[in-house]
Structure 1
Amino acid sequence: MAPRMLLSMPLHAITEVYGVEGLRERFLLEVESFPPDERDQLVAALELAAKLHAGDRRVREPYLNHLLRVAIRIIKYYGVHDVDVLTAALLHDAVEDHPAELGMLAEGTHGELTEAAIAELARRFNPRVAELVRSVTNPQYDPERDRHEQYREHVAASLDRDPWARVIKVSDFTDNGVGVVHTTPDKAYSSATKYRPLVPKLRELVGRPDTPLSLEAKDHILDQLDLAEERFAAILDG
């Protein structure tokens, strides 16, 4: 893999051609100029994410692909080099998907497992990383209510109070929304149903003055939200 080629390729193209090793190499190229201690933190986060999600898949690909794309997008397209935000991006699903393994508890309630996992992230990295991950971690849902509605309520509430978590969530949403064409028809339909109603709220959050992104990055994200909405409409209305 030629470094210059990897740095110029779209993320889903790297995924299709080179897979997880290509995305991993692209990520390491993106952080090559970071200070050594920050690179060490990011490599540790990547290794932890790879270990926790080793057996996970997103329909047609290893789950780690998604985590790498979310982090790379934040660096490349949002211009964010905040090491804690990038660490949290790599681990944004760790607490939700693997709380027992991360928190090293054999059993416990949902809340106990979640808190143990959050505490472990604070111990391994720092409290800011842990709280960023908390902000993008879905709560336990009420089985008597619509899951998608509860998801959107949680996203709106958590991102309202945590501007930096918005950066992680919009990259996550872009990977799921714009990337909806890179999955199976059934998964595309369920994703479009889940995510389409969230687009207006994300637009509003991205446009807020306290969202810590440049105007160029915000414009890029808004264009991506428009594209996601077009794809949702093609799937659900077409």
Structure 2
Amino acid sequence: MEFPAYLATMPMHAITEIHGEPGLRARFRLEIEAFDETARGRLTAAEELAAALHRDDRRVREPYLNHLLRVAIRMMHHYQVREVDVIVAGLLHDAVEDHPAELAGLRRCPTGAPAAADRTDAAEPTGAALAVLADRFGPRVARLVGAVTNPVYDPGRDRHVQYREHVAASLDREPWARVIKVSDFTDNGVGVIHTTGPKVARSAAKYRPLVPVFRDLIARPDTPLSAPVKRHIFAQLDLAEERFSAILDQPN
């Protein structure tokens, strides 16, 4: 498929609307040209694994892979991230949460059959899935994915409150995980206007209280981003907050 020469500078949601998943995958390939051959191989392997795991998943109007590609592209293009482990973790940030059993089942012995020690008990899929990521991409990738993977929530408490508590606690000790999560948050928050139906208000109610949490996390000296990138993120958080308010503060 032919894509315009200016694909490398198009806004990601414009690529999504006009060219869909093929366009985002092409843009991803353009972005990883800045890396060496070994890094490109790891990034391509992570993209292919994400595509396989999420092949049947959708986000309202689009394949779920689009979201994962935008998270990774945003980190490379807008955040100037060159840490391959971080981008790999960005591509796979929902893999353990959404497909732990499938991911855990990918660890195999040389015969091709699942290794006896790797057959996952339904109660412990997350640890086995993270172990597969550690085997394939290294322990740092697994640690970063673990930091942005939601825990099992207490059904007796508000899920949104527990989500905010988890984000604040897990990102407090993982500076690079903050970078992944804020790209994810930007795609969900600023991109809320690209969502339709009841999910719009639900997403706005879930994410608006997180804006000050992310402001604090990104502003910290140990968050490994340049000052211009941090200013860009703050502007995106401002825009997300404006959109959440427009959705939630409408007069009855």
What TM bracket, shorter-length normalisation? Answer: over 0.9
Give the secondary-structure state (helix, strand or coil) at the position aligned to 1:80.
coil
- Please tell me the residue identity of whatever aligns with 2:133: L
Give the secondary-structure state (helix, strand or coil) at the position aligned to 2:164.
helix
Partner of 1:53: 54
2:231 to 219, 222, 235: 219
| Cα distance per residue 1:24-63 (max 9 Å; x no partner) | 0000000112110000000000000000000000011000
Deviation, 1:187, is 1.1
Give the secondary-structure state (helix, strand or coil) at the position aligned to 1:31.
helix
| Cα distance per residue 1:6-38 (max 9 Å; x no partner) | 111100000000000000000000011211000
Does the CA-based 8 Å contact 2:120-2:128 persist in structure 1? no
| Cα distance per residue 1:177-227 (max 9 Å; x no partner) | 000000113111000010000110100000000000000110000000000
Q: CA RMSD in A?
A: 1.0
Partner of 1:65: 66
- 4+ residue runs over 2 A deviation: 1-4, 105-110
**TM-score (norm. length: structure 1):** 0.97
Partner of 1:77: 78
Deviation, 1:3, is 5.2
Does the CA-based 8 Å contact 2:3-2:23 persist in structure 1? no
Deviation, 1:77, is 0.4
Does the CA-based 8 Å contact 2:134-2:140 persist in structure 1? yes
1:108 to 121, 127, 135: 121
- Please tell me the residue identity of whatever aligns with 2:170: S
Partner of 1:148: 160
Alignment of 1:1-238 (within 5 A): 1-2=2-3, 4-104=5-105, 108-110=121-123, 112-238=124-250
Tell me which structure has the larger Cα radius of gyration.
Answer: 2
Deviation, 1:106, is 6.2
Gaps of 5+ in 2: 106-117
Does the CA-based 8 Å contact 1:32-1:39 persist in structure 2? yes
Distance 1:141 1:9, change over 3 A: same
- Name the CA distance, whole Å, in 1 between partners of 2:64 and 2:122: 25
**TM-score (norm. length: structure 2):** 0.92
- Please tell me the residue identity of whatever aligns with 2:121: G
Does the CA-based 8 Å contact 1:100-1:106 persist in structure 2? no
Deviation, 1:109, is 4.0
- Name the CA distance, whole Å, in 2 between partners of 1:38 and 1:25: 17
| Cα distance per residue 1:112-132 (max 9 Å; x no partner) | 100000000000110000000
- Name the CA distance, whole Å, in 2 between partners of 1:35 and 1:184: 40
Give the secondary-structure state (helix, strand or coil) at the position aligned to 2:34.
coil
- Please tell me the residue identity of whatever aligns with 1:18: H
- Name the CA distance, whole Å, in 2 between partners of 1:97 and 1:68: 16
Structure with bigger helix share is 1
Deviation, 1:107, is 5.2
- Name the CA distance, whole Å, in 1 between partners of 2:241 and 2:223: 21
- Name the CA distance, whole Å, in 2 between partners of 1:8 and 1:115: 39
